[in-house]
Copies of this chain bind each other. A is one copy, B any other.
Amino acid sequence: MPRPSHRTKILAEGLRVVHEHGFGGSSVRDIVQAAGVPQGSFTNHFVSKEAFGLEIIELHFVGIRELMRVTLCNDLRPPLERLRAYLDANIEQISLNHTKNGCLLGNFAVEASDHSEAIRLRLVEIFAEAQRCIAYCLEAAVQSSELPSSIDCDKIARFILTSMQGAVLLAKTQRDPAPIEGFKSVLFSMVLRQPLPN
């Protein structure tokens, strides 16, 4: 197996450091130290910290897109089961590291969207893609009569996306995934009006 390049190490370790300590809270020095590479290799591989930020957002989004593919957009499973699986996988992810990290995209939205228009615009696109996947899943639930046809799938999809971000923010603050569990419970019982699962 070939050794990982400095660039790969910086991206993998940089993603981990920034997710835990924030983009503003992680210096280039912190990142290269975590990656175990010389400081100069950062500037060899990234024209700016903003360019590095955009790359770790893409790297993180690879995992999110794969999760959406096997849950929300997976036509082989019943639609509301896909939505539950998507939320449960999010809860599991958020609960890592003592519920300290939050959502990388939400963190960037707060921290970096004032300082980098490129990062802000990329986040808007990514949130829109996630919202479309949730809407696709809700539309499938309407098609299969799991949800009533009166439901506005786009509106509920945006509501799920935004409320999830807030629940993750509170979970991060409280170091406790309970706000996300609470959101999921209200979503299924009161918004989607589903009976409690067995």
Q: Is residue A161 within 8 Å, beta carbon to beta carbon, of the partner chain?
A: yes
Question: Contact check: which of B120, B127, B169 meets A110 at CB < 8 Å?
Answer: B169
A162 engages B190 (CB within 8 Å):
no
Write out, one digit per residue, whether chain A residues 24-38 have a CB within 8 A of any chain B CB (1) or not (0). 110000000000000
**A104 CB to closest chain B CB, in angstroms?**
11
> Assembly of this chain: how many copies?
2
Given the known interface contacts A22-B114, A114-B100, the answer about A155 and B183 at a Cβ–Cβ threshold of 8 Å is: no
- Minimum C-beta distance from A139 to chain B (A): 17
B113 touching A173, Cβ below 8 Å:
yes
Residues of A in contact (CB 8 Å), total 43
A182 interfacial contact with B, CB 8 Å: yes
* Cβ B114 vs Cβ A169 within 8 A: no
Instruction: Evaluate whether A159 and B172 lie within 8 angstroms (CB atoms) in the complex, with A22-B111, A24-B25, A25-B24 already known.
Output: no
A residues contacting B by CB (< 8 A) are 20-22, 24-25, 100, 102, 106-107, 109-111, 113-115, 120, 123-124, 127, 155-156, 158-159, 161-170, 172-174, 179, 182-183, 185-186, 190-191
